[in-house]
Amino acid sequence: MKKTLLYIVWVSLFSAPLAQAQTNSSNSQFARQLTLQETIDLALSSSIAAKQASTNKTSRYWEYRTFKADYRPHLTLSGTLPDFSRSIVPVIQPDGTTDFRAVSISNSDLALSVSQAVGLTGGQVFISSQSQRFDDFNQGVRRYNSFPAVIGFKQPIFGYNALAWNKKVEPLRFQESERQYLEDRETLATTATQRFFDVLLQQVNYEIASKNVENNQALFKVAEEKFRLGRLSKNELLQLQLSLMNAQLAQAQASTELKTVVLQFAAYVGLPQGEKVAVLAPNHVPALEVNEQAALEQARMNRKERFLYERKVLQAQQEVAQARGKGGFNADLYATFGLTKSASNFSESYAQPENQQQVMLGFNVPIVDWGRQKASVKTAQAQLQLTQYTVEQEQTAFEQSVFTQVNQIDLLKTRLQITASADSIAQERYDITKATFLVGRISITDLNIALQEKDQARRAYIAALQDFWIAYYRLRALTLYDFERGVPLLAEK
């Protein structure tokens, strides 16, 4: 009898710590252990999603550089070297008859020009220098025609000025892309956090299952001894045996699910294939005190929506200007002033050149278009009004999402505190219930209830921890602000 009591006490005191130690050892042996911050840093530096975000940022940067280049001087060298032809052509003779003559000629030209777009007016100013050469091989004639300098401009009048509108829109689009990159990184951090806690939850499930197997094995051995002594019924012994088998089945299932989520986790954060990894539960939770109005101000200041809404309205206004400019009175003014000279010698074609001027004004006035231009303008104006309403609605929805996320943070902080306390209480209650069962003062049903409540409390705590950290990174993504350090994420670029 004394031997049996000593055995029961030994089991109750040492079986749980031993099971926990064995579980932790089997899970973490030879595995790379990652904290939450290490996981996020790894995902931001090595994951495919991080590389995609970086590539998108680079692509948008070069798109902006392309836009900027449209407003800078362009130097162009063009020419034809040579344009040779040999053919039989009809030639009208002095007496009115037609004779067919062999013609063998070559035309060559080379031009160097500098052009500059004028964004304010939508026109273009240019300076060019050009030389032409003509060869008639049948008659042995060679002529040069040179334009040492030609200055000119092209200017649309009353037309749609795409350059002026792009100069308003494209800088906003570029600022959006800069913010979008930061948002992409915070979204990536949120997803990495989700994957991290998926692994942590499965680790906890496996630890719980392994510990339950150890406890059920120990309890079954004690039950066999009590059954042998006649202090336990056959039904209760079979119930404990069934609990042991269920625990072993749960352990096998938990092991499989853990391997699956670890593979998915490693693939997402960019770990080498086949590398063993385990995660460590966060032991620190930010003591956040987030004010709704302060969070909203940061969101308005830092997020891409600051530029997105303005750009959408500007683009709608651009469509109105385009509809007005392309359907009504249009005119193009073209003027040049330069020097020119023809000669049989190349150097002589640049000696004492003569003046040359050209002025051309072309226009297009619709007389009858059956209301097409008016309908086009009205359509663009209606779209502008719709865009303004949509932007107003989107802005309201965005601000509400910030308020909701701030309130959720406060709720999750409270939930985390409660579940942490419940986890400790449930573990303590199970330990007491198990010890009480071992001395035969409660039934196996009460023990199983305490076990289930312990496991549920542990999982609830991990779930609360997961929800808090995911909400935390979503709040960062919504505001682009680090509430722990009190600085905008823009400062970390």
Instruction: Give the H or E element holding residue 360.
Output: strand 354-364
**pLDDT attached to residue 29:** 52
Look-up: residue for tokens 């089991």? 11
**Dist CA 216 CA 241 (whole Å):** 8
Q: Would you give per-residue pLDDT tens digits along the chain (493 residues)?
A: 333 333 333 333 333 333 343 344 344 455 789 999 999 999 999 999 999 999 999 999 999 999 999 899 999 999 998 888 988 888 888 888 888 888 888 999 999 999 999 888 888 999 999 999 988 888 888 898 888 889 999 988 888 888 899 999 999 999 999 999 999 999 999 999 999 999 999 999 998 889 889 888 887 888 788 788 877 788 878 888 888 899 899 899 999 999 999 999 999 999 888 788 999 998 888 877 888 999 999 999 999 999 999 999 999 999 998 888 887 778 888 888 888 888 888 887 778 788 887 788 777 777 777 888 888 889 999 999 999 999 999 999 999 999 999 999 889 988 989 998 999 999 898 889 888 877 777 777 787 788 888 888 988 999 999 999 999 999 999 999 999 888 898 755 5
Closest-CA residue to 203 (of 415, 471, 464, 462): 462
3-state helix, strand, coil in the chain (%, to 5): 60, 20, 15
**pLDDT attached to residue 493:** 53
Q: What is the pTM of this model?
A: 0.79
Tokens of 239: 């119930």
Task: State the DSSP code for 137.
Answer: T
**Dist CA 46 CA 472 (whole Å):** 22
Q: Where are the domains of the chain?
A: 2-63+168-312+387-492, 74-118+123-159+330-364
Listed in sequence order, the residues at least 6 apart from 374 whose beta carbon sits closer than 8 Å to its beta carbon are: none
Tokens of 95: 């007496």
**Dist CA 173 CA 178 (whole Å):** 9
**pLDDT attached to residue 491:** 57
Q: What are phi and psi of 272, to 5 degrees?
A: -60, 145
**Dist CA 349 CA 339 (whole Å):** 11
**Dist CA 397 CA 221 (whole Å):** 61
Q: Indicate the CATH number of 2-63+168-312+387-492 among 1.20.1260.10, 1.20.1600.10, 3.30.300.20, 3.40.50.10540.
A: 1.20.1600.10
Closest-CA residue to 259 (of 205, 313, 312): 205
